[in-house]
A and B are shown apart, each in its own frame.
Chain A
Amino acid sequence: MTTLSFTLVVWTVATVAGFLGALTGLGGGVVVVPVLTLALGVDIKYAIGASLVSVIATSSGAAAAYVREGYSNIRIGMLLEIAATIGAILGAYLAGFTSTHIIAIIFGLVLIQSAYQSLRNSAPEADHPTLSDRLGTIFKLGGDYPLGGKRQEYGVQNVPAGFGLMFGAGALSGLLGIGSGAVKVIAMDRAMKIPFKVSTTTSNFMIGVTAAASAGVYLSRGYIDPRVSMPVMLGVLAGAFLGTKVLVRVNVRTLRVVFGSVVLLLAIEMIVNGILGKI
């Protein structure tokens, strides 16, 4: 394959991945990395480097839209970023010492979790406490968000558990070049009892900062290769832009089932190839 056709194929794949990633909220990286490695035979280190920069592009590019909605909580994001960025640097270091087979298998397991989250019926809104516990109060984490034309107050609980989960989310992000948005939302929504909308928008802010923490290590190791990153970044960005434009017009439920099934198939292939030593 010539460089020109490789670039065009990768750009097309990345555009579709960015489009579906924006529609389903799972991000483009979870599709780009397996397709690059499985279908195009690209070394997984180039793939995770390219994925990492596209994660930053979608996070920063969407910031304005999320601010407008008025949900994100910068204090929560910033406090948890201490854990996530340290985890990310550790994960990025580990990526250098971990064999590509192991990285592929871990990636597959994370994909299964993403597929599960996409396929399962959306859980009913859990009961959200309006008061914070002791640490949540000390760190001034509570806030309010728009709900039915009014401002609904919420409290924040279990800060240490959320902090620990964020460290794990950061480590996965650094190891695999993904945003780890799913784990971040679980940490905030389930562990810290933060309302879902606040969790997802704060997660978008955090994803870019966490990815930037791995970027220095990735860059110095040569994972962020211009020839592979260029079509991936431009494609994911274009796809994500299109995705936010059509978001209101498609049946997201059906889409999530299709996307979840594709991700599940990719997950199985990643794990099998990792075990057989083909990646």
Chain B
Amino acid sequence: MTDQRLETLIGNLLRAGVLLAAAIVLGGGVLFLLQHGADKAAYHTFAAGGSDTRTLAGIFHSASRLQSEGLIQLGLLLLIATPVARVVLAVAGFALERDRMYVVISTLVLAILVFSLLHAT
């Protein structure tokens, strides 16, 4: 497979990931509005939500019980995962090209991303 075709494949995969994420967010959003649409909107002062919306385990748990906010966060998590997947695929691509320098460089970027996501555990 040529570089260009591999890149096109990756690009299409990313777009599919974004569309799936948007569909999950939309589903959770519709559910949320059906349940809370008439509530008063209050976003003037910041207050961090519970672990259901802030940690990976909390989000998976909440989404598995089909709670609207958990579903929205699950969609957003999938979205956040798309650039991470892009870097993983780059590591694999450079490994196939036997480009050691860039396997190391892209693995380093991946490690930094994983370090950041560990905050949400």
Name A's B-contacting residues (CB within 8 A). 1-7, 40-43, 45-46, 53, 56-57, 59-61, 63-68, 70, 74-75, 78-79, 81-82, 85-86, 88-89, 92, 139-140, 205, 208-209, 211-217, 219-222, 224-231, 233-234, 237
Q: Is the CB of B46 within 8 A of A61?
A: no
Given contacts A78-B109, A209-B113, contact A216 B118 (CB under 8 A): yes
Q: A219-B55, A222-B47 are in contact. List 10 more A-B contacts (CB 8 A).
A: A60-B83, A64-B11, A64-B15, A88-B116, A89-B116, A213-B113, A217-B119, A219-B80, A234-B29, A237-B18
Decide: A212 near B83, CB < 8 A? Known: A2-B41, A219-B120, A226-B76: yes
Q: Are B86 and A78 in contact (CB under 8 A)?
A: no
Cα distance, A5 to B33, chains bound together (Å)? 10
| Contact, CB under 8 Å: A237 / B118 | no
A45 to B46 Cα, complex, angstroms: 7
Q: Which residues of B contact A65 (CB under 8 A)?
A: 11
Q: Does B32 contact A (CB under 8 A)?
A: yes
Least CB separation from A228: chain B residue = B43
For A213, the chain B residues whose CB sits under 8 A away are: 112-113, 116
Decide if B14 touches A56 in the complex (CB within 8 Å).
no
Question: Which 5 residue pairs of A and B lie closest in terms of their CB atoms, listed nearest first?
Answer: A222-B48, A64-B11, A6-B41, A4-B37, A216-B116
Q: Which among B11, B69, B112 is the interface contact of A85 at CB below 8 angstroms?
A: B112
Per DSSP, chain A at the interface is: helix
Do A226 and B39 form a contact, CB below 8 Å, given A59-B83, A67-B10, A209-B113?
no
B103 to chain A, nearest CB (A): 10
- List, in ascending order, chain B residues with CB within 8 A of A228's CB: 43
Q: Is B44 an interface residue (CB 8 A)?
A: yes
**Pairwise interchain contact A209-B22, C-beta atoms closer than 8 A:** no
